[in-house]
Structure 1
């Protein structure tokens, strides 16, 4: 592995000049951990689990970017090194325990290492997102943020029945319209603010890039077993591609 591939950019940007009103984020797109971190003391199998990334989320984001002609920003490093959707210093920012798994390589790290990860992985991602959003505002372009995630069917022994959730802070109208669009498939169990609730302490993109800037923003969570195959990923990209333009019309009409 070359130094370049071992230390990729903090953010991969797709279709930056896309014409859509939608801006896509995928903070947990990658499970990459540079070799010097020794997999944070974990067996390789753990890096394929949800604790390391959001399984299927990157593929859905890539397809959506193309289907909607929307810019997309994807994170380049594993959430185990530093979580792009947690405020710096928050408990889950650099986890020592993720779900039921200890993360040995994060135990007892000093302030310098925390600052290094923020400088290399966290700040460049969010700086590029913020700059893009600022430019859109300056140009008077309507903007809505959709951040794509996936969740485990079972969490700490508790089954999660939903196929998808749409999480929101201030953007309840956008969330409601998107949920309504997804529910056009009557077989789907889609709810607001599941499997968890957006909070200032536990989330970053929706409150900071969205609510604080007056930009409607929601976080879409898709259950991971539905994204375990290429057809499943394509099906969810198609669903969201159909529901998002309809949601835009409802919230601006």
Structure 2
């Protein structure tokens, strides 16, 4: 038996938990996941070697996504699971071990604290990744046991410009194998002439590059979609409210057709 002391926990007892569950008994058929809700870094990681404002920028989290998710949860009476730590600590929407799970460069910015070995990567996954996804899985399992109709909506945001390339889309609807939610969302959003709507742009869902939709949606056979709002549309409170009202209205319309009798709010 080794006489070495146990490795220190990545998260100190007084630090935030790896996830937050909001309204777990919500009546809506929608279950909301916010994979990039926080820009917090555990103290033990010393800001990952970043000493400017990088963590407050888009590489640190999805700006506005948590606020939008919380408001949607209220409007729909939907359960919501939010991640507790920055995507730079470990990305909760990337398979562990994938090249972008713990990036050493993000958005052109070097991340000194992410030059780590496999043991440290596993410790980050154990502390921040798996607890979040176990919480989401437990919520979905409980609904299945109750026979509750369920659809998975992942809420993200994207930067207006990346590496010098402007993104014209105000909103993007992302999907993989399952278009049951994506198709109606695209149709509804395109009916609004003021919106430029991305269809699997600027990103698209893949098994190798995503986790939440393939695992919590597709693998369970649940209707699922990833919604991305451009971050400059989520700065002001009134803009967050407008997006929340719009998405809630569209989801209620889709729910009535796709999941009749679901008993949403």
TM-score (norm 2): 0.91
* Structure 1 residue 65 corresponds to structure 2 residue 73: yes
2:169 match: 162
* Structure 1 residue 103 corresponds to structure 2 residue 116: no
1:133 match: 140
* Structure 1 residue 23 corresponds to structure 2 residue 22: no
* Structure 1 residue 194 corresponds to structure 2 residue 201: yes
- Given that 2:160 and 2:231 are in contact with CA atoms closer than 8 Å, whether structure 1 keeps it comes out as yes
* Structure 1 residue 47 corresponds to structure 2 residue 55: yes
Higher helix share: 1
- Given that 2:20 and 2:81 are in contact with CA atoms closer than 8 Å, whether structure 1 keeps it comes out as yes
- 91, 108, 125: which one pairs with 2:99? 91
- Given that 1:177 and 1:250 are in contact with CA atoms closer than 8 Å, whether structure 2 keeps it comes out as no
- 82, 87, 93: which one pairs with 1:74? 82
**CA distance in 2 between partners of 1:190 and 1:26 (Å):** 21
- Given that 1:60 and 1:236 are in contact with CA atoms closer than 8 Å, whether structure 2 keeps it comes out as yes
Structure with the greater alpha carbon radius of gyration: 2
1:147 match: 154
**CA distance in 2 between partners of 1:49 and 1:161 (Å):** 19
Between Structure 1 and Structure 2, how many residues are aligned?
A: 250
Q: CA RMSD in A?
A: 1.4
TM-score (norm 1): 0.95
Shift of 1:249: 2.2
- 94, 99, 122: which one pairs with 2:129? 122
Q: Which runs of 5+ in 2 are unaligned?
A: 1-10, 261-265
Q: Which runs of 5+ in 1 are unaligned?
A: none
